[in-house]
Structure 1
Amino acid sequence: MAEAKTNCLFLLTTFLLYTLSSASGSLDSDLTALLDFRAASDQLGALWTWNRSDPSPCSTWLGITCAGGRVTRLVLEDLNLNGTGALSALSRLDGLRVISLKSNLLSGSLPDLSSLSGLKLLFLSYNNLSGPIPPTSSLHRLYRLDLSHNNLSGSVPGSLNQLTRLLTLRLDSNRLTGSISGLSLPRLQDLNLSSNLLTGSIPPSLAAFSVSSFSSNPALCGAPLLPCRDVVSDPSQPGTPNMTSNAAAPVPPAAAVVTSSPSSKPEAAPPQHNERMSRAAVLAIVAGDFAVLVFVSCLLFCYFWRKFAWRKSTSRLREGEKIVYSSSPYGTAGMAVAGGGFERGKMVFLDTRAQGVKRFELEDLLRASAEMLGKGGYGTAYKAVLDDGSVVAVKRLRDVQVAGKREFEHHMEMLGRLRHQHLVPLTAYYYARDEKLLVYDFMPNGSLFSLLHGNRGPGRTPLDWSMRIRIAAGAAHGLAHIHHANRSSPRLAHGNVKTTNILLDKNCEPRLADYGLAMLGPSVGVATRSASYRPPEAPPADSRRPWATQKGDVYSFGVVLLEILTGKAASDCGAIDLPRWVQSVVREEWTAEVFDLELMRYKGIEEEMVALLQLAISCTAVSPDQRPKMSQVVKMIDEIRVSSGGEASPSHDSFDSISDSPSVVSEDASAGRVGVSSQ
């Protein structure tokens, strides 16, 4: 009896182990599924490297990548793969994270891929797939879905709403029908439903997308398209919508009236008023059109005249625009003295021994043509061209509660002594009661912010990895120099580290700007973007007291490193800040998905990127005591640069990313083209 129980227990254990191993899958079962896919789709022999006898298929089979003994990535683009139903074999690859079969000739219906619960990227565009879109509710990790340019039909499934992480949805150029009013994807960044047969209203949650996302769906209405009341059916072509501003049902013509009597023949119907009414209507329409034309012409004339006048006045203003605004020859740049008169301030040059420094007075700035480049938390930034043609950058401290004259001058002298190849040098300053000016070298090649986030649409030149790590290293060296330049108390800190304050000089070398200004006094208005760099221990952004620490600088620099790695602006993560967003993604073991998709074209940089990511996370630790010193940060970045061994070569074999990232155009893309930032 005991032996029988033992045998039953053994058989049950064996069955359970077999069931678990079958459910979890293996590399051998994955290869079998891939060979079935090849047999159904590869009539031209494009997958000739797929040989079952190959001892290392994960490294030699075209288009596949393995991890943890499973096939996790299948990228077979533009290989003329064809065949009906070939995709069904892929549903057995339950370890897949990426499927990209773009630009092939695959046909048939989409299979049920619900078994691929770990799938993150699905690209099947530019094929000949047909039929409805199957349910996708189990693909809870999917964040990019591209089924565009196929022959898919049916409705947009409501199960898409359960894909809470979806960032990209492209279903354009199909034959999809029905309503999308129930579609709600709060995290969606890239949407294209154009060139389908969709009907009904666009839900408010999708109204923020552009017209091109919904174009060529004649029966679709609502923002950003025409209001739904302006979309009616054309009675001449049933089912075809007609756009009109005054929808009205067609009125049938009145029946002819015939009179007769018993003793007479039927007479012709009396003349009707329809013809006369039609002529009157035509005249009214012509007169109305003429009135509308005159009205629109007047509006256009007024608009362009005002625009011309504004440009003319603006050009005149810029011709005479000065950094100091006043009717007095010296503006308000004077300081009252006890005798009731005025003592003029003077321009103080901090390092006259430096080459290329030209002395000038306030009058020269008054005569200079000045271009206002932006207004930020610590004042207004100008580009000033002096009479001799030299160009300087001027910061007008109008929005900072500056300390007294002696403290101000002492602080400026301390900042003036900071000379480093990665710092924007403070050349001179001017102090008066109502006018405080800082003069810097002009930086002509923009800011790190503009390079990372400016014009992410078509035609953009991506910032490559070697340039990013070089900028990070240069900024780190400059910040470390600030921290160690004055070893006596108080310890000097930058206080406003961010990507708009990392500028590029004429040789494209990075230089830190606006250092030390936070220690002068509180800013009247701190920009929202600056608040995204503030460490947790900092007082609120509207605090009325100055605040700047070296540990706070390390945190802000860590945020800059995360921007370099992710391509996201610090203020683009909504309610959660960038460091917390990165940590949440890393905790879910999606580390590869943190990195900027523009970096995916470079091969052999994964280790360097992960090392820099670890450094950035340590810099943004919540506790200041857990953050490294800037000297340690410099050392680690230099080690990463040495290990990279030069520029990385372009490739598409990095991580789980295929397509370009959604366009991100920032309103500050052009900020920071001076020696001081606009913030």
Structure 2
Amino acid sequence: MATPTFSFTCFSFFFFVFHLWVICQASSNPDLKALLAFKAASDTQHKLTTWNSTTDPCTWTGVSCIHNRVSRLVLENLNLRGSLEPLTALTQLRVLSLKRNRLSGTISTVSNFTALKLLFLSYNEFSGEFPSTVTSLCRLYRLDLSHNNFSGKIPATVNHLTHLLTLRLDENRFSSLIPHINLPNLQDFNVSGNGLSGEIPKSLSGFPESSFSQNPSLCGLPMQSCKDIVTDPTRPGTEGATASPLMPRGNPTTVASSPTSMPNGAMPDKTTSTHQNGTTKLSTVALIGIVLGDVLVLAVISLLLYCYFWRSYSAKMREGKGSKLIESEKILYSSSPYPTQPGYERGRMVFFEGVKRFELEDLLRASAEMLGKGGFGTAYKAVLDDGSVVAVKRLKDAQIGGKREFEQHMEVLGKLRHPDIVSLRAYYFAREEKLLVYDYMPNGSLFWLLHGNRGPGRTPLDWTTRLKIAAGAARGLAYIHNSCKSLRLTHGNIKSTNILLDKAGNARVCDFGLSIFATPTPAGPRSNGYRAPEALDGRKHTQKSDVYSFGVLLLELLTGKCPSVVDNSGPMSGYGGGVLDLPRWVQSVVREEWTAEVFDLELMRYKDIEEEMVGLLQIAMTCTTALPDQRPRMNQVVKMIEEIRGVEVSPCHDTLDSVPESPSLSEDTYGTSQ
């Protein structure tokens, strides 16, 4: 049995070794010296109590590390003083926020911050000119220098910051003109409360007036037009004066034509009067000639146009077209389903329960707008004579067997009803024409919301909306999977163009159940990015394949990248034979512990959502596991998404594990479709 003295000695030895190990670990951090130097110079009130040389800097208040290097430094509202200079040695910084302190002096160089993405220095006492080395930080997304004492010009070199989303320079002392700033991703811009002058560049005119207020000498959209500004060179400071209605515009030395208003009461001589009278008579003659010439030219042109169009119209009448050709421009479909030969079987419109009925002729007369072309045909928006709107898909690129097989499958799809799917309302079958009629979704597709109009003036898709769309789409797909357990229905073509939004902005899954009509030829690049590995080699599509495609859809929501684009350059090349393999790219980034790199730049503007984004990212990576058996079922995916933000749990959450078969469907209906 060990004596107490020996035990105490052993404990002391191990404690000493552990303490020595901690000191070695702390001292091995190359950023320790810079942090301690900044604390010694700036923390005059000793608020950074955890900052000491005996502990690991990565555990200090406001410090985060990656690979034992400081990557994030957030020290806000701590009454820090002094200079920024000691921190310039932190070469791996990605986030630096020193808001609401009392730091001062000029910012000489920050070019060492080559990895910096977010820089917040507002509400301090920095002075001097705009820090020129900031424009070398090519990875910067957010730059906030507001509420300081910077002065001088805003340099045009800010255009080098091509990734910039935020540029805030308000409440400083900047002067002179605003340079032509053309940053394609800029969303938040503010230069109010400075001494800027001149015209606002057109590239910035889309920002609100509050972005330019308290600059008395600024003009142009969205502020007062520069044409309304009158300057008097003899009176300094009148650049912002508004033109008076009593002040004549133009040359101030111009006098009126009235003889009594001429200088010194001088009268015009007779020669001038005679000359003026002669000019008047000549002008009247010229005016009459011009009018007659115009009338003659118009008459000749009208005659030529009449002859040309009458000749064309006569030719059309001779060919038996006439007004029918003009009417055919409004017809939705190019080939008529009506019988043209003896024995041709005319089709009929088949409606499902509760749908307002109309005839095929109503569709053909409807004004139409093409919505897009997908893997199974072209979709149109059709406005009927009574004002109702439907979406019509014309199946052209589908491999359809017999009429009975088609009608049986449509009977199954047409009776599926759920708030998160686009309901099939009717169908038409003929030998040369197959039409599907759906509810029309007025707010477009998720694809357009994510990737459309990526430029100035775009309204970004916020995080709450993305999470809501993800949950709605998951519920819709889970319902399809569980609606008929004997058939085990699949969607077969999950992608962002097949997630539509209704009037309320809720996600609706469309084009479900059409994969059985897919041609055996390999799918094009547009859908390859979503396809599960086992579906690429021609094997039958399964519900687990749908789960994989849905996982890719979640990655698309998180990254803002389209998995169907061809990308043969840059860090994403080499995946999927030219098509971006989004799951593999995300896995490679996360493997290097750079998780933040995968998220869409447009999500960087929102605070306190990192945990939710990482949670959805983990769900997406689980769904895109290479082995189908390791992927969750869709009802499990629904639960996981709704647990990210508990307030958005669906009413049917508790029944997802055993979704009852639709009461409008019977086993007889299922059996006829197999």
Residue 96 of structure 1 pairs with residue 93 of structure 2: yes
C-alpha deviations, 1:508-534, integer Å up to 9, x for none?
7x6521235688799xxxxxxxx9954
Residue 413 of structure 1 pairs with residue 408 of structure 2: yes
Q: Distance in 2 between matches of 1:209 and 1:341?
A: 62
| Larger helix fraction of residues | 2
Q: Distance in 2 between matches of 1:371 and 1:601?
A: 47
SS at match of 2:511: coil
> Which structure has the larger Rg over C-alpha atoms?
2
Which residue number corresponds to residue 154 of structure 1? Answer: 152
Counterpart AA for 1:608: G
Q: Distance in 2 between matches of 1:499 and 1:80?
A: 49
Structure 1's 195 and 598: CA in aligned 2 closer, same or farther, altered over 3 A?
closer
Residue 362 of structure 1 pairs with residue 358 of structure 2: yes
Which residue number corresponds to residue 63 of structure 1? Answer: 62
Counterpart AA for 1:33: A
Counterpart AA for 2:408: E
Structure 1's 634 and 564: CA in aligned 2 closer, same or farther, altered over 3 A?
farther
What displacement does 1:235 show? 2.3
SS at match of 2:236: coil
Partners of 2:563 and 2:581 within 8 A in 1:
no
Structure 1 gap segments, 5+ residues each: 1-20, 255-270, 278-324, 350-356, 523-530, 539-546, 620-627, 651-679
Partners of 1:170 and 1:193 within 8 A in 2:
yes
Counterpart AA for 1:102: K
Which residue number corresponds to residue 593 of structure 1? Answer: 597
SS at match of 1:71: strand
SS at match of 1:131: strand
What displacement does 1:358 show? 3.1
What displacement does 1:450 show? 9.0
Residue 116 of structure 1 pairs with residue 113 of structure 2: yes
What displacement does 1:132 show? 1.0
Partners of 1:611 and 1:640 within 8 A in 2:
no
What displacement does 1:133 show? 1.6
What displacement does 1:91 show? 2.6
Superposed counterparts of 1:251-650, under 5 Å: 251=252, 273=262, 335-336=338-339, 345-349=348-352, 357-358=353-354, 361-362=357-358, 375-377=371-373, 378-381=378-381, 394-397=390-393, 401=396, 410-418=405-413, 423-431=421-429, 438-440=436-438, 462-463=464-465, 467=468, 470-471=471-472, 473-474=474-475, 477=478, 494-495=492-493, 497-498=495-496, 501-502=499-500, 511-515=508-512, 533-535=526-528, 557=550, 560-566=553-559, 579=580, 583=585, 586=589, 590-595=594-599, 596-597=603-604, 601-602=608-609, 604-605=611-612, 608-612=615-619, 614=621, 628=626, 631=628, 634-635=631-632, 646-647=643-644
What displacement does 1:177 show? 2.5
Structure 2 gap segments, 5+ residues each: 1-24, 267-327, 532-537, 573-578, 648-674
Q: Distance in 1 between matches of 2:153 and 2:27?
A: 32
Partners of 1:129 and 1:150 within 8 A in 2:
yes
SS at match of 1:91: helix
SS at match of 2:233: coil
Partners of 1:533 and 1:556 within 8 A in 2:
no
SS at match of 1:153: strand
Q: Distance in 2 between matches of 1:649 and 1:560?
A: 22
What displacement does 1:561 show? 1.9
Structure 1's 479 and 549: CA in aligned 2 closer, same or farther, altered over 3 A?
farther
Q: Distance in 2 between matches of 1:598 and 1:204?
A: 24
Which residue number corresponds to residue 30 of structure 2? Answer: 26
Counterpart AA for 1:414: H
- TM-score, scaled to structure 2: 0.56
Structure 1's 252 and 145: CA in aligned 2 closer, same or farther, altered over 3 A?
same
Partners of 1:181 and 1:201 within 8 A in 2:
no
* Greater CA drift, 444-453 or 100-109: 444-453
Q: Distance in 2 between matches of 1:374 and 1:193?
A: 43
Structure 1's 648 and 344: CA in aligned 2 closer, same or farther, altered over 3 A?
closer
Q: Distance in 2 between matches of 1:442 and 1:395?
A: 5
C-alpha deviations, 1:350-405, integer Å up to 9, x for none?
xxxxxxx43664369979xx999984433334699999xxxx984324x6547799
C-alpha deviations, 1:108-140, integer Å up to 9, x for none?
433532232322110122334322122225433
Which residue number corresponds to residue 143 of structure 1? Answer: 141
Q: Distance in 1 between matches of 2:643 and 2:407?
A: 39
Aligned length: 515
Structure 1's 568 and 31: CA in aligned 2 closer, same or farther, altered over 3 A?
same
* Greater CA drift, 138-147 or 225-234: 225-234
Structure 1's 606 and 506: CA in aligned 2 closer, same or farther, altered over 3 A?
closer
**Aligned residues: CA RMSD:** 6.3
SS at match of 2:138: coil
Partners of 1:153 and 1:176 within 8 A in 2:
yes
What displacement does 1:62 show? 3.6
Counterpart AA for 1:417: V
Structure 1's 476 and 23: CA in aligned 2 closer, same or farther, altered over 3 A?
farther
SS at match of 2:338: strand
Structure 1's 360 and 196: CA in aligned 2 closer, same or farther, altered over 3 A?
closer
Pick aligned residue for 1:176 from 146, 164, 174: 174
Superposed counterparts of 1:26-45, under 5 Å: 26-36=30-40, 38-40=42-44, 43=45
Structure 1's 345 and 140: CA in aligned 2 closer, same or farther, altered over 3 A?
closer
Q: Distance in 2 between matches of 1:385 and 1:443?
A: 19
Partners of 2:43 and 2:80 within 8 A in 1:
no
Partners of 1:179 and 1:198 within 8 A in 2:
yes
* Greater CA drift, 402-411 or 413-422: 402-411
Counterpart AA for 1:169: L
SS at match of 1:113: coil
Superposed counterparts of 1:207-286, under 5 Å: 233-235=231-233, 237-238=235-236, 241-242=239-240, 251=252, 273=262
SS at match of 1:141: coil
SS at match of 1:335: coil
Q: Distance in 2 between matches of 1:513 and 1:185?
A: 37
RCO comparison, higher one (Cα < 8 Å, 6+): 1
Partners of 1:499 and 1:560 within 8 A in 2:
no
Which residue number corresponds to residue 52 of structure 1? Answer: 52
Q: Distance in 2 between matches of 1:591 and 1:159?
A: 30
Q: Distance in 2 between matches of 1:104 and 1:92?
A: 20
Partners of 2:425 and 2:438 within 8 A in 1:
yes
C-alpha deviations, 1:280-328, integer Å up to 9, x for none?
xxxxxxxxxxxxxxxxxxxxxxxxxxxxxxxxxxxxxxxxxxxxx9999
Counterpart AA for 2:262: H
Which residue number corresponds to residue 17 of structure 1? Answer: none
Which residue number corresponds to residue 321 of structure 2? Answer: none
Partners of 2:42 and 2:80 within 8 A in 1:
no
Counterpart AA for 2:43: A
Structure 1's 482 and 340: CA in aligned 2 closer, same or farther, altered over 3 A?
same
Structure 1's 649 and 22: CA in aligned 2 closer, same or farther, altered over 3 A?
same
C-alpha deviations, 1:552-604, integer Å up to 9, x for none?
98896465223321357889999999957994994997530332347752464
Structure 1's 640 and 68: CA in aligned 2 closer, same or farther, altered over 3 A?
farther
Calculate percent identity across the aligned residue pairs. 35
Counterpart AA for 2:358: L
